[in-house]
């Protein structure tokens, strides 16, 4: 018996009828109907600093799960070659990130005295000059920083992902 094959229920495309228009359009594969459309060129639609919401937030507000999946045979839209594999890989990566985030600890607490001079208002310099070197001294590699929550004034929290000396990917949060 073969494993069922799944694809994302909602598919995103960009409608660009001219050089001045870029609409983001989400379609429900199960029904073939459009479920969401907005101006992808407007910062007020796309940039959190200007009040824009993520697609996941928009779906949640509509009571939909942006990551919902359906069996391939239920799709009224064509399924491109490799899409099942991409869907499976994306699900695994999302589940791993969710596990890492659930296990995340506060980076400043974790680093203790090594982070004592870090000032959140100067986060960019502090990440490169204080936090990254402190993690490297503890044997971490593949260190990356990313935005957590933010508003029009900047970040409210930041994420850090790094690989520890045992090869395990770890996440930290601070802010």
pLDDT tens for residues 116-127? 999 988 999 999
Tokens found for residue 136: 């490297």
Confidence of residue 80 (pLDDT cuts 50, 70, 90): very high
CA dihedral (124, 129, 135, 139) positive or negative: positive
pLDDT recorded at residue 142: 97
Q: Which residues contact 161 (CB under 8 A, 6 or more apart)?
A: 100, 142, 143, 144, 146, 169, 170, 171, 172
Determine the Cα–Cα distance for residues 41 and 23; give it in Å rounded to an integer. Answer: 7
pLDDT of residue 1: 62
Output 50 or 93, whichever has higher pLDDT.
93
Q: What value does the mean pLDDT take over residues 47-71?
A: 92
- Per residue in 124-140, pLDDT (tens digit) is 999 999 999 999 999 99
Q: Residue 43's pLDDT band (boundaries 50, 70, 90)?
A: confident
How far apart (Å, rounded) are the C-alpha atoms in residues 23 and 163?
A: 38
Phi first, then psi: give them for residue 146, nearest 5 degrees: -150, 165
Residues in the chain: 175
Per-residue pLDDT averaged across 44-52, rounded?
Answer: 83
Strand partners, 8: 69
Give me the pLDDT at residue 49, please: 76
- DSSP conformational letter for 137: H
Residue 175: pLDDT over 90: no
Mean pLDDT of 61-66: 96
Please say whether the beta carbons of 14 and 22 come within 8 A.
Answer: yes
Tokens matching residue 122: 């100067």
Round to whole Å and give the CA distance between 19 and 43. 17
Check pLDDT > 70 for residue 59: yes
Say what the pLDDT of residue 165 is: 95
Percentage of residues of the chain with pLDDT beyond 70: 98
Task: Supply the mean pLDDT for the chain.
Answer: 92
Q: Are 26 and 35 in contact (CB under 8 A)?
A: yes
Give yes or no for residue 46 having a pLDDT over 80. yes
Question: Full-prediction pTM beyond 0.85?
Answer: no
Q: How many helices (H) and strands (E) does the chain have?
A: 6, 11
């Amino acid at each position: 018996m073969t494993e069922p094959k799944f694809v994302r229920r909602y598919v995103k495309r960009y409608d660009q009828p001219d050089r001045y228009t870029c609409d983001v359009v989400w379609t429900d594969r199960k029904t073939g109907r459009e479920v969401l459309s907005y101006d992808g060129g407007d910062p007020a639609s796309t940039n959190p600093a200007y009040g824009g919401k993520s697609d996941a937030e928009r779906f949640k507000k509509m009571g939909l799960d942006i990551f919902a999946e359906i069996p391939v045979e239920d799709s009224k839209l064509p399924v491109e070659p490799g899409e099942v594999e991409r869907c499976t890989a994306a699900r695994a990566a999302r589940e791993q990130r969710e596990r890492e985030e659930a296990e995340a600890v506060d980076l400043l607490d974790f680093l203790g005295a090594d982070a004592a001079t870090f000032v959140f208002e100067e986060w960019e310099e502090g990440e490169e000059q204080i936090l990254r070197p402190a993690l490297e001294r503890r044997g971490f590699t593949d260190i990356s920083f990313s935005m957590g929550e933010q508003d029009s004034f900047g970040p409210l929290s930041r994420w850090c992902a790094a690989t520890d000396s045992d090869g395990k990917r770890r996440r930290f949060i601070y802010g």
